[in-house]
Homo-oligomer: A and B are copies of this chain.
Amino acid sequence: MCRWLAYSGSAIPLEELLYKPDHSLIDQSLHAQLAGQTTNGDGFGVGWYGTGADTPAIFRSLVPAWNDRNLREIASYVESPLFLAHVRASTGAAVQQTNCHPFRYGRWLWVHNGLVRDFLRVKRELALAVDESLYACIEGSTDSELLFYLALTLGLEDDPPSAVERMVSLVEDTGHRHAIEAPLQMTIATSDGESVWAFRYSSEERSQSLYYSSDVRTLRRLYPERALLHEVSDETRMIVSEPLVDLAGAWKEVPESSYCLVREGVDELHKFRSR
């Protein structure tokens, strides 16, 4: 199982979420608690948007995140209003930078936790479904990157929820044709630099965990002593595969087969279905 987080709100140093919380993403990668039996030592990545830049920057590394000195420098130096981070536990594909999330295409970033079941049996057929002009952009060998390029093929840049639904449908149809019972397990976050969409879905309807942070105003009332909560804007939101801190009332579960949309002034939760 991989782990990821998405942050949208006031610009903060990356280290505020990657290192400082009790159960930060880096700490999770060392000590699995809620979800997991395995260690996330198979690659780390973070992608962040600047203020005004067209393309997000990404840093991806194979050194276990907890001892990656370059990551620590970057996380302390970079401030960003919107970033996605990911720690990987390989489900088979090689440990290499091009298999680390987030994946990037133009302004878009993509992180995934989960898997395409029996991926090697359906990989070729799914790869053929990628638009010809996009095919050559695929650099790695993971199911996660292929899901991204399928979603791009199916209109991610125009209507993300609809494109992801069609991507899921295509993967499930392909899997079923190969007699794979529950072809897909996923939580996914994607962003264009302004909005974040986060999806929770699995063919078997037992999706891996996903949480979003409560309204910052509520959190300030509950935890007046937490300085960071007073520094960030009311609009600030986090979406995480596993809670970063143990604060009662701080995290709400994204329900099964749902997605959230987070953007300045917008905070929505919708049903998600394969179509």
Establish whether residues B95 and A67, one from each chain, have CB atoms under 8 Å apart when the complex forms.
yes
Establish whether residues A39 and B41, one from each chain, have CB atoms under 8 Å apart when the complex forms.
yes
Which of A99-134 touch B at CB < 8 Å?
Answer: 120-121, 123-124, 127-128, 132
CA distance A123 to B128 in the complex (A): 12
A61 interface neighbour in B70, B128, B136, Cβ under 8 Å = B70
A132 interface neighbour in B42, B98, B124, Cβ under 8 Å = B124
Establish whether residues B38 and A41, one from each chain, have CB atoms under 8 Å apart when the complex forms.
no
Q: How many residues of A contact B (CB 8 A)?
A: 46
CA distance A9 to B122 in the complex (A): 42
Q: Which of chain B's residues have a CB closer than 8 A to the CB of A138?
A: 141
A31 interface neighbour in B38, B57, B78, B90, Cβ under 8 Å = B38
Q: Which of chain B's residues have a CB closer than 8 A to the CB of A76?
A: 57
A141 → B minimal CB distance (Å): 5
CA distance A64 to B37 in the complex (A): 16
Q: Which of chain B's residues have a CB closer than 8 A to the CB of A97?
A: 69, 94, 96
CA distance A249 to B43 in the complex (A): 39
A73 at the interface (CB under 8 A from B): yes
CA distance A42 to B132 in the complex (A): 28
Which of A15-35 touch B at CB < 8 Å?
Answer: 30-31
Q: With A94-B96, A97-B96, A98-B94 as given contacts, are A64 and B41 in contact (CB-CB < 8 Å)?
A: yes
